[in-house]
Structure 1
Amino acid sequence: MSKSKTHSKTEDWSQNEVLFAVKNRGSNLSKLAEANGYDNRRALYVVFYRKNAPTAQKIIADFLELKPEEIWPSRYQSLTVKYTSPAVRPHVRVA
């Protein structure tokens, strides 16, 4: 997996793409987990079956020199939505 691979902004990388990208850089998730202080060598595999795993996502993304939202954009969409101005409420007079 190279940084030049094109994904839509809402398309998450598949499990195989993530594993291949890590392997291509000379490691695997077990080694990354161990290097980051996890006793359970399979700790980082949580990213494939649980969407709320920001620490594991960050470890993998940092290793790949990417941002987590570049690998799993659907998990970060609601955090990156830009709001314009709040809805204007009509003035209500209270008698």
Structure 2
Amino acid sequence: MTDKNEDQRRDWLPAKVRFELEMRGLSLRALSLEAGYSRDSLKAVLRTPCETYEQVIADALGMKPEDIWPSRWEIRSRKRKAA
């Protein structure tokens, strides 16, 4: 098991998320609208955890959300195991 600070250091920075989307010809705004959200909805996930928004971005990048935000998903995994 990794410690929380190590996972946070492995989380992608917001600039990397935007860069990876741009490299694929995508944007947070376009993904928000495509998913049926208001135009700036997905921007919130860069600073605030939201499983649904994280999944939209991960799907667009062809990844799993836990690979982009390991600290968020490790915490969720622990909570589910404790329940």
TM-score, normalised on structure 2?
Answer: 0.79
Of residues 70, 75, 78 in structure 2, which corresponds to 1:78? 75
What is the CA-CA distance between 1:49 and the residue it aligns to? 1.9
1:44 pairs with 2:57: no
What secondary structure sits across from 1:20 in the alignment? helix
**Runs of 5+ consecutive residues of structure 1 not aligned to the other structure:** 1-8, 84-95
How many residues align? The count is 72
Residue identity in the other structure for 1:66 = M
Q: Which has the higher contact order (CA 8 A, sep 6+)?
A: 2
| Structure with more of its chain in helix, by fraction | 2
2 CA distance for matches of 1:60 and 1:29?
A: 8
Percentage identity across aligned positions?
A: 36
Residue identity in the other structure for 1:36 = A
